[in-house]
Amino acid sequence: MLDWRWDFTWEILPRLLVATGNTLLAAGLGYAIAVVLGLVLALAQRTPFTPLTVVVRETVEFVRSTPLVLQIFFVFYVGPQFGIRLSPWTAGMIAIGLHYAAYLSEVYRGGLESVPRGQWEAAKSLNLSTGRTYFRVILPQALPPSLAGMGNYLVGIFKDTPMLSVIGVAELMHTANAIGSETYRFLEPFTLVGVIFLLISLPTAAAIRLFEAWTRRKLGMS
Amino acid sequence: MDTKDVSGFPLALEGDAVPMVSFRKVTKSYGSLVVLDSLDLDIAEGEMVTIIGPSGSGKTTVLRMLMTLETINGGVIYVDGQPLTHMERGGRLVPADNRHLRTIRSKIGMCFQHFNLFPHMTALENCMEGPVHVLGLSKKEARERSEELLAMVGMADKRDQHPSRLSGGQQQRVAIARALAMRPKVMLFDEVTSALDPEVIGEVTNVIRRLVSEHHLTMLMVTHQMGFAKDISDRICFFYGGRIEEQGTPDELFGNPQKERTQQFLSAVKEAT
Amino acid sequence: MSYIEFLSQYGDRIVSGTLVTMALTVLSALLAVAIAVAAGLMRMAPNMAVRGVATVYIEIFRGTSLLVQLYWIFFVLPLFGITLEKFTAGFVAVGMNLGAYGAELVRGAILSVPRGQWEAATALNMSPAKRMRRVILPQAVLIMLPSWGNLLIELLKGTALVALISVTDLMFQVKQINGTTFMSAEAFGTALVIYYVLARFMITPFMRWLERFMTRKMGRA
């Protein structure tokens, strides 16, 4: 039954901690890509050029509605089929970055939509260029309502990094699996993985909630 | 004083003319804000009492505490001789538990400013809900009672409509029928016309007039409709700062107010109408 | 091999995988709804122990990833004497994971029902259980339906992970096909399209229909 071996636990812990570093790196990089790409996708849906908006819209819907793990396989294996070899890390970053860019573009869209019409009209009456309008007037106002969603997806991307294990990225889940296969002991590695995830995601989620409340206060609850 | 220190209060009210509702030294505060300050108020059986006063004077709180929607911080409320907010345990009064609250609460019914009809039920179903699921009546009995009451409030033809299809005045009348279907001994009306357009206020006040003249229910009403209050009330209480500033028959209070605050309030109201 | 040839040769495996995916989705959805309602209500119970149990469950299942939970249920639970067959482990993991998210939806919706409704039910002297069942929950259901639509799509996507414990769903089938033919674009691409069709043209319309149905039933339309 409950046959927990502490000596084994301490033995594997360093290896798991190194893998945690990889996990955090993957999550961080993926999130950085998603934040920037997501904004591009959101803005692309607001151009007057209809074919572009439609294509982007459908692509975003497609990426959001299909499993990330399948997208990871797709990116990793399709490249070689056409002669492009991608390392697991590169393929993983592209897939996860694109997937979360789609989610974040929806968050940005919501934030942009929440900016009152009057702001656009005021900018136009002052004859501001589109670029200036977005940069100085609209985006700063679209940001606070978007922070909640952005925070959620930061935690989300961290929790999705185990999917990268399926193409061999040496993150936490992959390492735990490897330890399990080598030693035939799954109890300690898998439980530790769960604990490590909780130790990182719960405080992060709490910090994000506090941050949300702080920004709301700073803006006078608007 | 807190609710636990009620050693000086009787376990029950006895005697010949036991008031239907009795507030004894009732206090209510939100933190440091005192909303009701050691209130003493008796309402006799069959009496119709209206509470008037400026906002923040505690008038709505009186009703809400009677309906157990708010807790009290001091004193005891009695209904039909029995304590409502407390119960007897080993010869002493202790704060009431949920079972006791529900037993005494069954004697009280309330109509709200915003009607609060159940949107997912028709008018008839709204009225039947309490009788069937709380009183245990059969569907047939509950339906007969509800249809009778809906007819009394003039809503018989709308009994299969959902609240979203009814006007404010119509919804409020259904709400009155719903409360009456529980056959309460005390009816509470919390600003029931304040959310209505002026032209439909009459619908609702007429229903209440009929109730007063035909049914000798004990009633407690909070309203801004002074003319209406004057017409149907046995007694008017003017609340100020969590206390009864002055009370008397409508003629006495409206015709010859003694206290300065009462006079100020009444003249301000007159200017507004 | 052209795409048509690809489909005719491997189509039946893809179809059988799709059916398994759909079955998993339905079963985990049922489990998730049951858990969400139970945990959501428990989170609002006056008893601190009851609340605590629900909160711990929700935080654990929301704070760790589905893949970790899946592996744990399939590989570690047997050590505690609970051995689940892999299909069962699959939908139990997905159901329990999304049930935790659903619990917050349930709680949020219940709290969104206007105060006046709670008070009117109290004024009619309803017991808390009756009040919840007859007045609050019906109105909460309508409030939470749109969010449940999104959750169901997440559920569908989640089922893909069970391929990693060798359940023969759509994901598993195309992984096998890719392994033997290396026609990755055809295999994975077809799977992507099928998931998309299931999400956009089955789940979403179904939820819209459900919303319309409930709105009419609640007399709001």
C-alpha distance from A204 to closest chain C C-alpha (Å): 10
What are the boundaries of each domain within chain A? 6-218
Residue B172 DSSP SS3:
helix
Which residues 6+ apart lie within 8 Å of A121 measured at CB? none
Closest residue by Cα to residue C107 from C62, C74, C65, C70: C62
A6-218 maps to CATH 3.50.40.10: no
C-alpha distance from C123 to closest chain A C-alpha (Å): 34
Per-residue pLDDT, A120: 83
User: How is residue A157 written in tokens?
Assistant: 């991307």
ipTM above 0.90, yes or no: no
Q: Does residue B131 contact residue B137 with C-beta atoms inside 8 Å?
A: yes
Q: Is A120 within 8 Å of chain C by CB?
A: no
Per-residue pLDDT, C221: 45
The 10s digit of each residue's pLDDT in B9-27 is 888 888 878 999 999 999 9
Per-residue pLDDT, B4: 54
Amino acid residing at C123? A
Q: Are A81 and C192 an interchain contact pair (Cβ–Cβ within 8 Å)?
A: no
The 10s digit of each residue's pLDDT in B207-248 is 999 988 888 789 999 998 888 999 999 999 999 988 899 999
The 10s digit of each residue's pLDDT in B59-87 is 989 999 998 888 899 999 999 999 999 99
Q: Does residue C41 contact residue C108 with C-beta atoms inside 8 Å?
A: no
Per CB-CB distance under 8 Å, the chain B contacts of C112 are none
Which residues 6+ apart lie within 8 Å of C52 measured at CB? none
Strands B235-240 and B218-222 turn out to be unpaired
For chain C, list the domains and their CATH numbers: 7-217 (1.10.3720.10)
C-alpha distance from A36 to closest chain C C-alpha (Å): 24
Q: Does residue B203 contact residue B171 with C-beta atoms inside 8 Å?
A: no
Per CB-CB distance under 8 Å, the chain B contacts of C219 are 119-122, 162-165
Chains within contact range of chain C (3+ C-beta pairs < 8 Å): A, B
Q: Is C116 within 8 Å of chain B by CB?
A: yes
Per-residue pLDDT, C117: 94
What residue ranges of chain C have pLDDT lower than 70?
220-221
Neighbours of C96 (CB within 10 A): 21
Per-residue pLDDT, B273: 55
Q: Does residue B61 contact residue B28 with C-beta atoms inside 8 Å?
A: yes
Q: What is the 3-class SS of A4-45, one letter each residue? A: CCHHHHHHHHHHHHHHHHHHHHHHHHHHHHHHHHHHHHHHHC
**Chunked in runs of 10, what are the mean pLDDT values of chain A (222 residues)?**
81 90 92 95 90 93 94 90 85 94 93 84 79 82 84 90 88 89 88 90 88 73 44
Q: Is C134 within 8 Å of chain B by CB?
A: yes
C-alpha distance from C114 to closest chain B C-alpha (Å): 9
Query: Among partner residues A64, A77, A177, which is closest to C178 by beta-carbon distance?
Result: A77
Per CB-CB distance under 8 Å, the chain C contacts of A163 are 67, 161
Strand ranges for chain B from DSSP E: 21-30, 33-43, 48-52, 74-79, 82-83, 86-89, 92-95, 108-111, 186-190, 218-222, 235-240, 243-248
